[in-house]
Structure 1
């Protein structure tokens, strides 16, 4: 059965008239491709940024949400997202391993450089594939990626993607209903990858980067996707990691996942358990997520 029409979609007001226009643009799209539909929707709904450029990524994220809710039907994707294919990093994504072992205050110019072009993207992907224990896979949905830099060079990488659809402990802590979660999940972002390069040994660097990232995504996410961001989440595999840097950066520990995962059908909890951490970006985050006090 179709879900209720959301009152907002990726930060913009949305109603039945908009939904009808979307369905019309889907029917008229030639060729019938998701990219072409996103372009038509941006023109039809005047979905542009402050410089008048079509917000194609926001449109595609919003269209996918409506498709998954049963409100529209999108054509099948014509290109895979790389799942099932081994990612081979480029040689230039292997930086020279120059040891960095200094006090945190000595890292002049510590910053997060947003990944905005192909070269930076290839570097980020390669670093994650080579040095992160999970390796590289495309981040889902709305996303932001950064290279961790200082005046002396490269220190690591951090990336955020779409929030998990259902997490029992998180959802209880927020206090939202399934309908509220569906309507407002786009205001939650998942810290899916975090890498400090293995030759970088700087005490408290990880928690400092998390603090920088919380401020940065609060600005970059609405600028890119037109939606206010109010909560971050992450999942830390235990006992591989203790989650110390998240606690030091004042993230809230909500307990552990069940180890089942979204594809579990046998109820055997075969996946590693993960600690659940969240970080509110606003005092009114529950109200922004639809929870009525």
Structure 2
């Protein structure tokens, strides 16, 4: 028997209204045969809970659901065994080969812009550049992340570099102590912090 929702709650950096929490309870009761993953995706869609790239905040939702279960507000389906996830090897192509050094002034490169990397081909190329030219090679970022190409348009469009901004890790004791955040402060403000 689940408890009755009596107030708003902040979980995984998001404030849930009573109405939203009741909606989550109803979704879980309505779809008892969904896996945890399917349940999290469904709840994210209902709440429009997405990242800056318009992807469902699946991991944050799973975390929130676990906390709701600990509070006795929901009863989740049992976890199903998962297949081990293998990371794909990054293949180097001609596109990411080193180009000759640029021997010109910044003004001669024309307009310098940041281009958000969104489609699959661009993401693959971005990963390839970083894997080939970064001293640590490419590692899949943890959590939400935005990838950019640094572009110039003269003498022709060209990639000058790559940038990555990722969401901050949820728990980082030294950071929280240095900022003097307690749990409530972190939940309220963590979404304002990025890693680069």
TM-score (norm 2): 0.70
Equivalent pairs counted in the alignment come to: 175
After the TM superposition, which segments of 4 or more aligned residues of structure 1 sit over 3 Å from their partners? 7-10, 42-45, 72-82
Question: CA, structure 1 residues 19+163, in 2 after alignment: closer, same or farther (shift >3 Å)?
Answer: same
Question: CA, structure 1 residues 79+29, in 2 after alignment: closer, same or farther (shift >3 Å)?
Answer: farther
CA deviation profile, 1:137-186 (whole Å, cap 9, x unmatched): 22111211101111141111111222132152x33443321331134322
1:5 aligns with 2:9: yes
Q: Comparing both chains, which one has the higher relative contact order based on Cα–Cα distances under 8 Å and sequence gaps of 6 or more?
A: 2
Question: CA, structure 1 residues 29+91, in 2 after alignment: closer, same or farther (shift >3 Å)?
Answer: farther
Question: CA, structure 1 residues 117+6, in 2 after alignment: closer, same or farther (shift >3 Å)?
Answer: same
Partner of 2:73: none
Distance 1:137 1:67 in 2: 28
1:107 aligns with 2:109: yes
1:157 aligns with 2:159: no
Aligned partner (choices 112, 120, 126) of residue 118 of structure 1:
120
Deviation of the 1:90 alpha carbon: 4.3
Question: CA, structure 1 residues 167+160, in 2 after alignment: closer, same or farther (shift >3 Å)?
Answer: farther
1:32 aligns with 2:38: no
Structure 1: runs of 5 or more not aligned: 50-54, 192-293
Partner of 1:129: 131
Deviation of the 1:42 alpha carbon: 4.2
TM-score (norm 1): 0.49
1:71 aligns with 2:64: no
Partner of 1:166: 172
Structure 2: runs of 5 or more not aligned: 1-7, 70-75
Do the aligned partners of 1:114 and 1:146 also contact (CA within 8 Å) in 2? yes
1:178 aligns with 2:183: yes
